[in-house]
Structure 1
Amino acid sequence: MSRGSVTVSNNKRIVSERGKKNQVDQNRPYAWLVEKERGLSGKAEDTAIIFLTNKECPFKCLMCDLWKNTTDQSVEIGAIPKQIAWALAQMPKAKHIKLYNSGSFFDEKAIPVADYEAIALLLENFETVIVESHPKFITQKCLRFRDMLKPALEVAVGLETANPDVLEKLNKQMTTEDFCGAIRFLSRHNIPSRAFILLRPPYLSEDEGVYWAKKSIDFAFECGVGCCTVIPVRGGNGVMELLHNQGKFEVPKIQSLETVLEYGIQLQSGRVFVDLWDLSIFSNCDLCFEARTKRLDLMNLTQKIGKRVSCACEQHE
């Protein structure tokens, strides 16, 4: 295969474009933070987020850079509870917690089933526990973990896009039918869910990226999720830079993120958030960036559409 093309179904090719992983400690999470999130109560409440260190996800998704903070082998039994206990000791109290693990919580090679009980005990003072999973790992293990928990369980699932052709090219190794089946399984067992949706994955123009982000929100809500988080796609994992050089990928504009969030909120089908991490990547104007960031943050917290930011930069689009 020549370097001028990318066959995205080839895991080895995607991995071959990567840099080195970061050094991690199996007894420590690689990051943690506390942020406000608007809950089902209608209030913006503190939510703890722990980014667990564990074995890399088996799915080599084209756009993913989460592999950078993973191990090559499964962590020892007891390591994940140690990570959670350590992080909780550093954090202020919060009502809700997200355990994000650069893959799937219900992947036994990432989070040992033998640790479920210890994890549940550590989380007993929270109201909600949110974990993430690929649809293929949403099985009876979800119910086992839920039954051990005192807090309510919620599962976040990466839809990424409802465009079937692009979804296949992302090497996600799932279909929209797989996503919907997983959400309906969770719903049948009274487990709330949320979806991750990408804004402008590779192979889409700016307008197409906005269109398919909107369609993906529609699809996720139709399947039964209660919440959608829109993530603007960035580079940084090697293969995305290769696609950029081929003219097949550009980062989306912050204005497009605003448009998609406005659309999601006005649906009133459930909460819709946008990811605010590293937003400067998506802005080409220093004059309006801060105002746009504050507006997006406020819309996340209130789920109300704020007044659009006016800037001369839009006249030159």
Structure 2
Amino acid sequence: MSEAMLAPKKRLVMATKEMVEAQKSCASAFTPRAETDTTQAAKVWHEDDNFGGQATKALVMVLKTRGCDWLIKSGCTMCGYFNDSFFDDVSADHIILQFENAMREHQGEDLIKIYTSGSFFDEREVPAAAYTQILKRVGETTGRLSVESQPQIMTDAQVAEAMTHLKEFEVGIGMESAHDDVLAHSVNKAFRFRQFVAGAELIHRHGARAKTYLVQKAPFLTEREAIEDTTTSILKVAPHSDVVSVNPINVQRHTLVADLYKHGAFRPPWLWSVAKVVLDASRELPDGVTLKCHPVGGGHARGAHNCGKCDKRAMKALEDYTLGRGTIRLERLFETPECGCYSRWQWELDNEGLLGAACWTDPVVW
């Protein structure tokens, strides 16, 4: 990490104790839905994707499980995926029913993507019987599956079993940042970079693909610090990854980030910043590594945004790159900015740290 990235370390360390307590408070204030039907997935949708370097169609489902074990203990500062969790044990039979009911929406997509708001390999979330049945069913249909897990939870036996049923298997790891200081003092992550490396090695050992998720603009970082954190993280995780997905932080309910946002102390990243990260990193990626970025909530106040006038142009450039159409639109963004907010973004990069605080107040009327 450069000297510029070391600058916020003292500030982050000082915030850590308060951050952890605040995150616990946000999570504990959450009241799970009065949900009784655990036979239906929380969400099901269809989307375009880039899988194995090829444009493809995907069926995506979010299964209701007890939720992320780390959230129950503490939780990450920006993650609100527990809003779809059940916070009680869900039987293997009901997990299977959720999957089967979601598969009724299958329209011939080549890829199945399953999210659990936690770790697919955690048997407290997805019991072994459900895990095995899901693998068999995907193997009988598309043969291509993408899931997520914390690296310290997965085992050789689990990944090996998956590969006996599947043609292609992708395991996503929410690394967030490759810098342990940011993980510890800004994200409040449950693991560190060395555990990510071990997890990626395990995945590759069995012929599966490793997909690494990174965030952009973890709390307590300035806009410029966040750009450097994400750009350097991409290049640090790339040798251990088949796919790197950049996820600009969006404001999710019942999180510390949401509390900061409510009090005017957090602004999601500029789309200018997101485009810069993707464009700069794309020029240094190792061969064979795919870089993706599809900002959730992009163009809206609670997601990565510019002024509201040029957001669609930036989002289209990111979409084109993610779907394998090259960097032409990203390059044109900076060659011909065509929007006055470009100058404000540059001013913020140059002056935010000098002010001793982030430029959190957004003058745009939404």
Common topology (TM > 0.5): yes
1:250: Cα distance to partner? 2.8
Name the residue aligned to 2:58. 47
Hey, what's the Cα distance between the residues in 2 that align with 1:39 and 1:245? 37
**What residue number does 2:43 align with?**
31
Q: How far, CA to CA, are the matches of 2:166 and 2:206 in structure 1?
A: 16
The offset of 1:141, in angstroms, is: 4.2
Residues 1:85 and 2:100 are matched in the alignment: yes
Q: Which runs of 5+ in 1 are unaligned?
A: none
Match of 1:187 among 182, 204, 225: 204
1:115 to 123, 130, 135: 130
What is the CA distance between 1:243 and its match in structure 2? 3.5
Q: Does 1:316 align with 2:365?
A: no
1:145-224 matched pairs, under 5 angstroms: 145-169=161-185, 170-222=187-239, 224=240
Distance 2:22 2:308 in 1: 39
Q: How does 1:231-310 map to 2 (within 5 A)?
A: 231-235=247-251, 236-244=253-261, 249-269=266-286, 270-279=289-298, 280-281=300-301, 282-302=304-324, 304-307=326-329, 308-309=332-333, 310=337
Q: Give, in angstroms, the shift of residue 71 of structure 1.
A: 1.0
Shift of residue 313, structure 1, vs aligned partner: 2.1
Aligned to 2:363: none
Structure whose alpha-carbon radius of gyration is higher: 2
Relative to the length of structure 1, the TM-score reads 0.90
Give me the identity figure in percent: 23
Whether the 8 Å CA contact 1:14–1:62 is kept in 2: the answer is: no
Report if aligned partners of 2:22, 2:256 keep a CA contact under 8 Å in 1.
Answer: no
| Cross-structure match for 1:102 | 117
Does the aligned pair in 1 maintain the 2:238–2:285 contact within 8 Å? no
* Cα distance in 1 for residues equivalent to 2:297 and 2:263: 24
Judge conservation of contact 1:80–1:111 (CA < 8 Å) in 2. Answer: yes
Matching residue of 2:4:
none
Single out whichever of 284-293 and 104-113 deviates more from structure 2.
284-293
Per mean C-alpha deviation after superposition, the further-off stretch among 29-38 and 238-247 is 238-247
Aligned partners of 1:54 and 1:260: how far apart in 2?
34
Give the deviation of 1:56 after TM superposition: 1.4
Task: Point out where structure 2 has 5 or more consecutive residues left out of the alignment.
Answer: 1-16, 346-366
Query: What is the TM-score normalised by the length of structure 2?
Result: 0.79
Structure-2 residue corresponding to 1:6 = 18
Distance in 1 (CA, whole Å) between partners of 2:22 and 2:305 is 32
User: Secondary structure of 2:122's partner?
Assistant: coil
CA RMSD between the two structures: 2.1
- Cα distance, 1:120 vs structure 2: 1.9
Q: Give the drift of 1:239.
A: 1.8
One-letter code of the match for 2:109? Answer: A
Letter in 2 for 1:293: M
Q: Is the 8 A contact 2:294 2:322 kept in 1?
A: no
| Per-residue deviation, residues 258-290 of structure 1 (Å, max 9, x unmatched) | 111112322342111112321023224232112
1:6–1:243 contact (8 Å) kept in structure 2? no
Letter paired with 2:309: L
Per-residue deviation, residues 207-249 of structure 1 (Å, max 9, x unmatched) = 0101010111111112x21001111112232422333467764
Asked if structure 1 preserves the Cα contact closer than 8 Å seen for 2:160 and 2:206, the reply is no
What letter matches 1:166 in structure 2? V
